[in-house]
Amino acid sequence: MGSWDAALDAADVRGERLRADFTRQRRVVARYRFPQYAAVRLLLPRPTVPHLLAATAFMHHTDSLLDGEGSLRERTAAYEQWAGQVRAALATGHGDHDVLRPLLHACAARPRLAGHVEAFLDGAAVELDFAGFATEADYQRYVDAYSLPAFMLLADVLAPGAEPAGYRSACRAFIDGSQRLDFVNDLADDLGAGRLNLPRDVLERHGVTREDLVAGRATAGVRELIARELDAACTSLRAAHALVGHLPAAHRAFGRALIGMEEATAGAARAKGAGLLASSAWPAVPAAVRLLVREYRKRGQ
């Protein structure tokens, strides 16, 4: 994966405190999603790595506040305090937080990123009182309000400079597929936490009730529901391959790997079927390693 210190040097991260901040956030991301972290370290050029990890760590920290423990009032207060702190840091260029200092450094290197941070903060509050989706249209509005702005934090780092025409729509295809896949694949965990992230009208279309899912009933309707949602996720992920063509050559291997990991997860989820009501599915480690090795050999293409 190369030297972390060399990556910090390449991204012009100077000073002991700032380098320590970046290192802490690197560890957070590695614990949070190691396969994606491995892809970042293996496939992206050194100057990009710290900035992408800083944006990811900021997104994860914010999401943790939104979905954390406590009442709606407590989570709202914590989020509003954090959003104010972030906006003050963006306005002044200074922040007294180990998540914000790396983010500010990334924003200085990529000036458009600050606008994406603001857009993400504007939409993030929809997570606070989330009570599920009545319709597919509600889900699509959620993607536009929250999921897409969150992904654009990373997408901006991957496509520096002016945003290419068609890039945002390709990014939306990716995050629609990825978000839908997450909601299907994480059914067991979400239901255990009292959440159901599949639209109620979609359940009704397949003759499935929330109680069916909670009880783990592998009815024909449940199996069909899971298969159709995975079909929809895969359709969006196929369309998302267009985003790779908008990336600089040095970032394309990572873009292909990012989509490939989601497609591999979808394949594992499809194989598990109604077993997703008991636990999530993950690609086999050898398959993930083969994907990373293949793209490592194709870097720059």
Which residues does 292 contact at the CB level (< 8 Å), separation at least 6?
38, 39, 42, 43, 257
Could you tell me the two tokens for 15? 């000073």
* CA count, 13 A, side-chain hemisphere, 189: 8
Angle at 105 between CA 100 and CA 108, to 5 degrees: 125
Amino acid letter, 35? P
What angle (nearest 5°) sits at the alpha carbon of residue 64, between those of residues 59 and 70? 150
Contact assessment for residue 59 and residue 120, using Cβ atoms and an 8 Å cutoff: yes
DSSP string computed for 206-223: TT--HHHHHTT---HHHH
- By the 8 A CB rule, do 102 and 21 touch? yes
What pLDDT does residue 246 have?
Answer: 95
Q: Are 1-128 and 130-301 equal in CATH topology? A: yes
For the whole prediction, is pTM greater than 0.75? Answer: yes
Residues 6+ positions from 298 with CB-CB distance below 8 Å: 253, 256
pLDDT for 1? 56
Cβ neighbours for 201, distance < 8 A, ≥ 6 positions apart: 134, 135, 136
Rg of the chain in Å (alpha carbons): 19
CA–CA dist 280, 96 (Å, integer): 38
Neighbours of 184 (CB within 10 A): 25
- What is d(CA 263, CA 149) in angstroms, rounded to the nearest whole number? 22
Question: Rounded to an integer, what distance in angstroms lies between the CA atom of residue 150 and that of residue 283?
Answer: 24
* pLDDT per position as a tens digit, 222-232: 999 999 999 99
Q: CA-CA distance, 113 to 54, in Å (whole number)?
A: 11
Looking at residue 139, its amino acid is Y
Sites in the chain below the pLDDT cut of 50: none
Q: Which residues contact 64 (CB under 8 A, 6 or more apart)?
A: none
CA dihedral (202, 206, 209, 215) positive or negative: negative
Q: What is the pLDDT of residue 183?
A: 97
> Which pLDDT score is estimated for 2?
63
Phi/psi region, residue 235 (left: phi>0; alpha: psi -120 to 50; beta: rest), is: alpha
pLDDT of residue 131: 84
Does domain 1-128 sit in CATH 3.40.50.970? no
pLDDT at 199: 97
**CATH code for the structural domain at 130-301:** 1.10.600.10
Domain ranges of the chain: 1-128, 130-301
List the one residue out of 99, 106, 109 whose CA is nearest residue 57: 99
Whole-number Cα distances in Å, 290 to 238, 247, 254, 287:
20, 22, 14, 5
141 phi/psi in degrees, rounded to 5: -65, -35
| Contacting residues for 113 by C-beta, under 8 A, at least 6 apart | 55, 106, 107, 153, 156, 157
Residue carrying the six token digits 């979609």: 202
pLDDT of amino acid 160? 74
Torsion of CA 230, 236, 241, 247, to 10 degrees: -120
